[in-house]
Structure 1
Amino acid sequence: MSSRRSFLGGAGAIAAAVGAASVGRSALAALPEPVLQTRPDTMPPLVPQSGRPYNPVVTLNGWTLPWRMNAGVKEFHLVAEPVVREMAPGFKAHLWGYNGQSPGPTIEVVEGDRVRIFVTNRLGELTSIHWHGQRLPNGMDGVTGLTQPGIPPGKTFVYEFEARRPGTFMYHPHADEMVQMAMGMMGMWVTHPKGRHPLIDEVDRDFCILLNAYDIDPGSYTPRIMTMLDFNLWSWNSRIFPGIDPLVVRHMDKIRVRVGNLTMTNHPMHLHGHEFLVTGTDGGPTPKSARQHEVTADVAVGQMRQLEFLADEEGDWAFHCHKSHHTMNAMGHGVPTMIGVDHSGVVRDIAALVPDYMVMGERGMKDMTEMEMPLPANTAPMMAGKGPFGAIGMGGMFSVVKVRKDQKPRDYADPGWYRHPPGTVAYEFTGSLPEPSRSGAPGSGAMAPAAQADVEVAVRKPGRHGGAHR
């Protein structure tokens, strides 16, 4: 963990820690050191060195927050602060988050753990943290004004409770929520079962993905916080494709993917090449009698879904949100549809005045993946990413599940592109094509066309004074 550690200036000098509810003063004698992570890479799983053992998760393009044990209590230190998040190579956003990143680090505990979280506010306004989906004392629920006072700038509050049930949860503010969540303040929480559980299977690889969305104008850095629905960047863990790392797995591994949604709309998550089971929700494990195989599962706002499958098909399999606009980056909603419009003559006239002018959209938008179009500084292309056969033509909520027979256990290194066995890749047909035959015969039976007479429609509408209009 030493590669992850960096001290936040002044955090160790905080003299007062104010509890969100009654907490023993011995707990406040010293703060655990805050740990900072600014690299956007997927960090290896944090194998527990203290406390109960468990099989750790991997947060895609993220990390797990280290802790210390203090008299049997697992202590964490979260720091709410402005951060710079690289959303894709060459594109950075000025967000708010925790411990150097947005989303904040994943918190991992074990069912029955006593947990103490110190939360230091480095923002310019009040904040709090709500532990989404947890069973805990009311005064630890994190709703500013209702269950606690807001955490003032420069102050530290303490949350303490028992992790009572296993599952996948989230954390986020309940203070100026419209701004703070739109700026990226959120994170995931995983509570592992303390022993064998009848509804929670052992898995070989366990991934965490938190869905988020931003509206960042091309050429700018800061999200527009007033946006309600028309976001232009749909992200996983505040990364957009091609900045999202692949989910690297070993052939025949059992895989769990935990997906949480803190955007403003639902996301149908779709996996190619495999079927999965939804084995858990925010409410806990799904009864086995209620599970059915799916290839797409809708994750609504504020929900979590656990997807599990056996990686029994080798290859590079797409995994993405199935809303078509959610696999694009920086899309302009005001762009007119130009499909089928021949404006070559206009192009010649405009190019005489603007030499770099380019035609867009007359054959669809896929051409943009091949263009070297100049973009404003700090702007992600709408569709980017190269595959072994050329431009992938995707952005946003898209990644690849890479299944390999020769991948070593617990090895998450990218194996490169899949080498397809001979004869297993779609290819161009070069023979002659028969002319399509079209039937002009009328339908029969129930499909026979009915005789139609000319009809003149007369509409009678009530008038303002009882009259009518024809």
Structure 2
Amino acid sequence: MNTRRNFFKWLGVAGGAVAATSVSKVAMAALPEPVLQTKPDTMPPLLPNNGRPYNPVVTLNGWTLPWRMNNGVKEFHLVAEPVVREMAPGFKAHLWGYNGQSPGPTIEVVEGDRVRIFVTNKLGELTSIHWHGQRLPNGMDGVTGLNQPGIPPGKTFVYEFVARRPGTFMYHPHADEMVQMAMGMMGFWVTHPKNRNPLIDEVDRDFCFLLASYDIDPGSYTPKIMTMLDFNLWAWNSRIFPGIDSLNVRHMDKVRLRVGNLTMTNHPIHLHGHEFQVTGTDGGPTPKSTRRYEVTEDIAVGQMRQLEFLADEEGDWAFHCHKSHHTMNAMGHDVPTMIGVDHTGVASKINKLIPDYMVMGERGMKDMTEMEMPLPDNTAAMMTGQGPFGSVGMGGMFSVVKVRRDQKPGDYSDPGWFKHPPGTVAYEFTGSLPDPARFKSEGRSAMPVAKPTAQVEVQIRKPPGGHAGHH
């Protein structure tokens, strides 16, 4: 008997393009077992053991959701629920997510796959899932009230559609969106091409992650959902540096980076040491005639960018958002600038009242990374992370692409710090400095400013009748 017909018989509805509908007790007995993951590590790629083969992605500090085949349909089970996400070592946040984590697991399918996703709501309010960028029946688009009723707490709904085109997509709620997305409800979706596509190249390594932002007060656990712009934590897959894993690749690998933005602002994503091309968006692969080499790509809100580069330079290369405040953690934005202010006398007096008081910002903020400054429990340091030459002095949206000749194909383990060949590291100059050369033309402006010969006194005459006479 036709499986699709059985599926809709379970639901008690007719037709193929229907709204996501609550599941009957009969169907509940056939639910795929939900798979949970709570570790914040980058999990190995999930090689497909059935269905069409493909080269799987690696989700940075995340994982891919397993599926089961049911008469030719790929079935997944997502559970919307409160989660505890370790954003960096020693710092955890109480978020909302899917299957134990925020973001939820990546869903990987192949172009042409029939897909069925069971969504169970373990939150305290209605939710739904919008499949961002997908072509699908209107009743499966996931906008609460417009395309479907919201999924009530404790209920399970089903979404079913065909993955019609290859590309990189996202999923997130369209129900109480301001709260639920601010709490971390989001995930990645990758549809691999069914056959060889002239616009989609084969790659050796394929990474994906989502940009997210949070406002969590020092010492607290839960994001402030009403914040619109002034966030203090900028994250990749709800992790902040030094909690973001490095991206470990083999020398001369072709590498693809899939980055989606679900924050409240744009992010110029910058890669050191290499040039990349923008080969895709959530609208699909880009025409080859439009591709250009870049080192920074600005990703706006709600957009996805697919970047590809050849890892032909060995080393540990920084990879980060180029907005300077987005590479810091738990930063207060109302702190006055104290550069150049001598705190000596004041600091000694304050220390008598507050023994742990520290001078901040007198010579810039980098000194903060060297201090053992006491912080409230569950607070991420503003700048941290130790490199081979000392404190990196970064936070937030920052990681490292590690390119190694001896990294084996398919090996994503951290190779440690790069061993620089002799003579290739910047060093201190200890010789004598020559006097600076001076130009003979220095000291005079090419176009001197003309000075008035006499003082001019401005006379003001008010119109009669006051302001009432103005037209």
Q: TM-score, normalised by structure 1?
A: 0.92
Distance in 1, Cα, partners of 2:456 & 2:255: 64
What's the offset of the Cα at 1:236?
Answer: 0.1
| Per-residue CA distance 1:232-289 (angstroms, 9 max, x = gap) | 0000000000000000000000000000000000000000000000000011000000
Contact 1:17 1:156 (8 Å CA) reproduced: no
Contact 1:278 1:291 (8 Å CA) reproduced: yes
- Residue in structure 2 matched with residue 329 of structure 1 by the alignment: 329
- Residue in structure 2 matched with residue 442 of structure 1 by the alignment: 444
Distance in 2, Cα, partners of 1:365 & 1:457: 49
- Residue in structure 2 matched with residue 9 of structure 1 by the alignment: none
Distance in 2, Cα, partners of 1:262 & 1:458: 57
Contact 2:21 2:158 (8 Å CA) reproduced: no
| Per-residue CA distance 1:91-130 (angstroms, 9 max, x = gap) | 0000000000000000000000000000000000000000
Structure 2: which 5+ runs fail to align?
1-9
Contact 2:270 2:296 (8 Å CA) reproduced: yes
Change (3 A) 1:313 1:346: same
Which stretch shifts more, 433-442 or 223-232?
433-442
What's the offset of the Cα at 1:28?
Answer: 5.9
- Residue in structure 2 matched with residue 266 of structure 1 by the alignment: 266
Distance in 1, Cα, partners of 2:456 & 2:260: 56
Distance in 2, Cα, partners of 1:171 & 1:130: 6
What's the offset of the Cα at 1:301?
Answer: 0.1
Distance in 2, Cα, partners of 1:407 & 1:183: 37
Distance in 2, Cα, partners of 1:82 & 1:260: 22
What's the offset of the Cα at 1:22?
Answer: 7.1
| Per-residue CA distance 1:439-470 (angstroms, 9 max, x = gap) | 533244xxx334232675859799733479xx
Distance in 2, Cα, partners of 1:344 & 1:76: 62
Change (3 A) 1:17 1:422: farther
Which stretch shifts more, 19-28 or 425-434?
19-28
What's the offset of the Cα at 1:432?
Answer: 1.4
Structure 1: which 5+ runs fail to align?
1-14
- State the SS of the aligned residue for 1:369: helix
Mapping 1:55-94, distance limit 5 Å: 55-94=55-94
Distance in 2, Cα, partners of 1:57 & 1:29: 31
Change (3 A) 1:23 1:93: closer
- Residue in structure 2 matched with residue 8 of structure 1 by the alignment: none
- State the SS of the aligned residue for 2:40: coil
- Residue in structure 2 matched with residue 429 of structure 1 by the alignment: 429
Distance in 2, Cα, partners of 1:457 & 1:306: 65
- Residue in structure 1 matched with residue 451 of structure 2 by the alignment: 452
Distance in 2, Cα, partners of 1:372 & 1:167: 46
- Residue in structure 2 matched with residue 464 of structure 1 by the alignment: 467
What's the offset of the Cα at 1:21?
Answer: 4.0
- State the SS of the aligned residue for 1:368: helix
| Per-residue CA distance 1:325-353 (angstroms, 9 max, x = gap) | 00000001121111111111100101111
- Residue in structure 2 matched with residue 98 of structure 1 by the alignment: 98
Change (3 A) 1:99 1:21: closer
Say whether 1:347 aligns with 2:347.
yes
- Residue in structure 2 matched with residue 212 of structure 1 by the alignment: 212
Contact 1:248 1:413 (8 Å CA) reproduced: yes
Q: How many residue pairs end up in the alignment?
A: 451
Identity %: 82
Contact 1:314 1:405 (8 Å CA) reproduced: yes
Which stretch shifts more, 349-358 or 401-410?
349-358
Distance in 1, Cα, partners of 2:438 & 2:328: 38
What's the offset of the Cα at 1:355?
Answer: 1.4
- Residue in structure 2 matched with residue 112 of structure 1 by the alignment: 112
What's the offset of the Cα at 1:354?
Answer: 1.3
- State the SS of the aligned residue for 1:196: coil
Distance in 1, Cα, partners of 2:216 & 2:282: 30
Distance in 2, Cα, partners of 1:161 & 1:218: 43
- Residue in structure 2 matched with residue 159 of structure 1 by the alignment: 159
Distance in 2, Cα, partners of 1:155 & 1:235: 31
- State the SS of the aligned residue for 1:210: strand
- State the SS of the aligned residue for 2:399: strand
- State the SS of the aligned residue for 1:62: coil
Contact 1:17 1:158 (8 Å CA) reproduced: no
Change (3 A) 1:88 1:348: same
- Residue in structure 2 matched with residue 11 of structure 1 by the alignment: none
- Residue in structure 1 matched with residue 242 of structure 2 by the alignment: 242
- State the SS of the aligned residue for 2:123: coil
Say whether 1:186 aligns with 2:189.
no
Runs of 4+ residues over 2 Å off in structure 1: 15-29, 434-444, 448-468
What's the offset of the Cα at 1:408?
Answer: 0.2
Distance in 2, Cα, partners of 1:222 & 1:122: 18
Distance in 2, Cα, partners of 1:230 & 1:342: 30
Distance in 1, Cα, partners of 2:436 & 2:330: 41
Distance in 2, Cα, partners of 1:17 & 1:31: 17
- Residue in structure 2 matched with residue 197 of structure 1 by the alignment: 197
| Per-residue CA distance 1:7-39 (angstroms, 9 max, x = gap) | xxxxxxxx9999844799886651000000000
Change (3 A) 1:449 1:51: same
Say whether 1:126 aligns with 2:129.
no
Change (3 A) 1:360 1:438: farther
Distance in 2, Cα, partners of 1:24 & 1:93: 32
Contact 2:20 2:157 (8 Å CA) reproduced: no
Change (3 A) 1:457 1:392: farther
AA in 2 matched with 1:464:
H
Contact 1:67 1:75 (8 Å CA) reproduced: yes
- Residue in structure 2 matched with residue 32 of structure 1 by the alignment: 32
- State the SS of the aligned residue for 1:181: helix
AA in 1 matched with 2:46:
L
AA in 2 matched with 1:302:
G
Mapping 1:318-397, distance limit 5 Å: 318-397=318-397
Distance in 2, Cα, partners of 1:419 & 1:360: 35
- State the SS of the aligned residue for 1:345: helix
What's the offset of the Cα at 1:356?
Answer: 1.2
What's the offset of the Cα at 1:202?
Answer: 0.1
Distance in 1, Cα, partners of 2:470 & 2:44: 78
Contact 1:16 1:155 (8 Å CA) reproduced: no
Change (3 A) 1:221 1:459: farther
Contact 1:218 1:330 (8 Å CA) reproduced: yes
What's the offset of the Cα at 1:163?
Answer: 0.3
